[in-house]
């Protein structure tokens, strides 16, 4: 299985357009530090690729990765589908960028696909622009993406996007992680960009993975308020912190996976700074920080 990290930033990107925190100022001064929104491209044999989420930067991300470039036909693309971990804007807006008469399959849980029909009506908007198929994903039920890749969704949280508001959409399966297995090599990838808690379900999925990309949105639960960037805590937004009591870092470090990588990192998070003490601490634990262009083979 080939895994290409397309970007590692949480909503807003890094730097975020309206943020003047220390990290964003540094990323503007040194553009090489910038990263696009979190997403992966995954392939079994290197010919057909599946995107894990479609970010607002997806067209730039495809352009930056030669494996995702179109050809040999004038409108032939190796991108075969998109797996949605939730219905948040930063994971679905990119579907609008993939509208140019493309034939793609979009995979999501029932409430996610319903939200994209009703509240953020991407499905209707795209019906005259692209040949998209919408495929329902059932929690815990393996699904073959092609003759090599098999995916299983597992529940990570039940928080709907804020834009859903008081709509009467049914279901609680709003946030999922994906376990992808290469049926030829046996390699296993677990991708969970939103993880409110390290529960038994996630522990079970991650225990046998060769590579784990995990929610690294915030370093501490009160990070936003401490930096004057907002009043909401990380946990109230559906993200367990990396450090502190109940943080994810220690548990992640103990996993047997060969590669353990944080993704979906907020612009306020100090781990985006390669020289920070927080980054050095993670490195000592054997944990990496995602970035565009990072490639893993399992």
User: What's the average model confidence in pLDDT over 274-286?
Assistant: 97
Q: How high is the pLDDT of residue 102?
A: 78
Tell me the chain's radius of gyration from C-alpha atoms: 18
In a domain, 297, yes or no: no
Task: Give the model confidence (pLDDT) of 190-245 as tens digits.
Answer: 999 999 999 999 999 999 999 999 999 999 999 999 898 888 999 999 999 999 88
80 part of a folded domain: yes
Residue 42, C-beta contacts closer than 8 angstroms, at least 6 positions apart: 1, 2, 3, 4, 49, 50, 52, 149, 180, 189
Overall number of domains in the chain: 1
What's the CA gap between 39 and 50, in Å, rounded? 11
Q: Model-level pTM?
A: 0.97
With respect to residue 30, please indicate whether it lies within any of the assigned structural domains: yes
Residue 298 counted as domain residue: no
Residues 6 or more apart whose CB falls under 8 angstroms from that of 87 comprise: 108, 111, 112, 115, 116, 120, 160, 161, 164, 174
pLDDT at 166 over 90: no
pLDDT tens-digit map of 64-89: 999 999 999 999 999 999 999 999 99
pLDDT for 171 beyond 90: no
CATH (domain of 169): 3.60.15.10
Report the chain's terminal Cα–Cα distance, integer Å: 5
Give the per-residue pLDDT at 179: 98
pLDDT at 144: 98
* 17: in domain: yes
pLDDT at 25: 96
Q: Containing domain of residue 268, as a range?
A: 2-292
Question: Can you give the pLDDT at residue 177?
Answer: 98
Residue 170: band (very low, low, confident or very high) from pLDDT cuts 50, 70, 90: confident
Q: 199 in a domain, yes or no?
A: yes
In a domain, 88, yes or no: yes
State yes or no: pLDDT of 26 exceeds 90: yes
Has residue 183 been placed in a domain? Answer: yes
| Mean pLDDT of all residues belonging to the chain | 96
Half-sphere exposure at residue 58, Cβ-oriented, CA atoms within 13 angstroms:
24
Q: What pLDDT does 270 receive?
A: 96
């Amino acid at each position: 299985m080939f895994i290409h990290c397309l970007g590692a930033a949480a909503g807003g990107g890094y730097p975020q357009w309206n943020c003047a925190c220390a990290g964003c100022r540094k990323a503007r001064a040194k553009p090489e530090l910038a990263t696009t929104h979190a997403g992966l491209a995954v392939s079994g044999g290197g010919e057909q690729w599946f995107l894990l989420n479609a970010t607002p930067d997806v067209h730039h991300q495809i352009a930056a990765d030669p494996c995702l470039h179109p050809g040999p036909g004038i409108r032939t693309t190796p991108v075969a589908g998109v797996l949605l971990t939730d219905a948040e804007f930063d994971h679905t807006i990119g579907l609008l960028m993939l509208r140019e008469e493309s034939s793609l399959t979009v995979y999501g849980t029932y409430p996610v696909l319903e939200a994209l029909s009703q509240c953020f009506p991407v499905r209707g908007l795209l019906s005259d622009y692209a040949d998209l198929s919408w495929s329902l994903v059932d929690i815990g039920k393996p699904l073959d993406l092609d003759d090599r890749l098999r995916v299983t969704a597992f529940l990570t949280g039940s928080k709907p996007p804020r834009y859903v508001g008081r709509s009467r959409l049914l279901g609680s399966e709003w946030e999922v992680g994906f376990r992808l297995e290469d049926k030829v090599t046996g390699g296993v990838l677990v991708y969970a960009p939103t993880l409110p808690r390290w529960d038994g379900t996630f522990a079970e999925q991650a225990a046998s993975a060769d590579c784990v990309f995990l929610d690294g949105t915030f370093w501490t639960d009160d990070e936003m308020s401490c930096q004057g960037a907002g009043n909401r805590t990380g946990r109230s937004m559906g993200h367990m912190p990396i450090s502190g009591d109940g943080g994810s870092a220690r548990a992640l470090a103990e996993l047997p996976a060969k590669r353990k990588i944080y993704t979906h990192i907020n612009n306020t998070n100090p781990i985006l700074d390669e020289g920070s003490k927080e980054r050095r601490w993670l490195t000592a634990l054997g944990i990496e920080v995602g970035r565009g262009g990072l490639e893993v083979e399992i």
